[in-house]
Amino acid sequence: MLSDSFTDASIGWKPVSGIPTNVSLSMFIEGMSSFSAQTMDYHLDMYFQQEWIDHRLAHNNTAPILVKDKKVFKTMWHPDVYFANARSAAFQDITDDNFLVWVYPDGRVWYDARIALVSSCNMDLWKYPLDSQECALRVLSCEFFFKYSSICLSSLIIVASVQNNLLDAYPESVLRLFWSEKEGVLAIDRNPEITMPDMQLKDIRTGYCNGTYATERTRT
């Protein structure tokens, strides 16, 4: 039974010792707005997905099991990912908690949550009104690895990098975070109807770097 598996998986530690746990990340940007030069921030509404394997949650059902109870989800191990430079962030809960977890027969876990946040952005306005802004959204796990996303406005780019967190960090041999590499699916996608009165969204890209911060960026 899956309930028994949850009991086994509630130890608060990664699923398998001795080999790295791979956590795949992806996001769908539902909306962007309120890029403010006065407050140096912007609003982002998105679906944020994480996927990993926890063999302790494997079950005999032919179909995946849907978990919608937060209390049940909290008994399961999951990455403690958060947004480092968000001034405010919240899970959407109207009209119900906007999250779901699918647990597949092989123990694969797919976690999707809708998140609204206000993130800081240090804008460079010296070329205004013909400026191009890049606003960083830093996504990290406090115990594991840093991941960064950069969002560029007027030319909007998302660039991801990863480095070891040197304080209380697990090495890459223990945990790996990476952007989703599913064939035919973008790791970071967006609502094609996103429009802003004074800015234009041009591009979204992902990349990786090591501890030297060698990050691939797109010039616009």
pLDDT > 60? residue 209: no
173: amino acid identity, one letter:
S
CA distance 111 to 49: 6
pTM given for the model: 0.76
124: amino acid identity, one letter:
D
- How many structural domains does the chain have? 1
- The tens digit of pLDDT for each residue in 146-178 reads 444 554 443 344 444 333 333 334 556 666 778
Residue 45 within any structural domain of the chain: yes
Buried b (16+ CB within 10 A) or exposed e, 38-68: eeebbebbbbbbbbbbbebbbbeeeebeebe
pLDDT (0 to 100) of residue 89:
73
Residue 143 within any structural domain of the chain: yes
Residue 122 within any structural domain of the chain: yes
Residue 12 within any structural domain of the chain: no
Maximum C-alpha span of the chain:
61
Residue 198 within any structural domain of the chain: no
Mean pLDDT in residue range 77-95 = 77
Residue 204 within any structural domain of the chain: no
CA distance 98 to 88: 17
- The tens digit of pLDDT for each residue in 102-151 reads 999 999 999 999 999 998 887 776 666 656 777 777 776 655 444 445 54
Q: Phi and psi dihedrals of 122, rounded to 5?
A: -85, 95
- The tens digit of pLDDT for each residue in 178-199 reads 888 888 888 888 898 888 777 7
130: amino acid identity, one letter:
L
Residue 201 within any structural domain of the chain: no
Alpha helices in the chain (DSSP H): 2-9, 70-74
Across the strands, what pairs with 32? 44
What residues make up the domain containing 133? 21-190
Q: Provide the CB-side half-sphere exposure for 216 (13 A, CA).
A: 6
pLDDT (0 to 100) of residue 130:
59
Taking Cα atoms as reference points, which of 204, 220, 34, 7 lies closest to residue 116?
34
> CATH no. for residue 174?
2.70.170.10
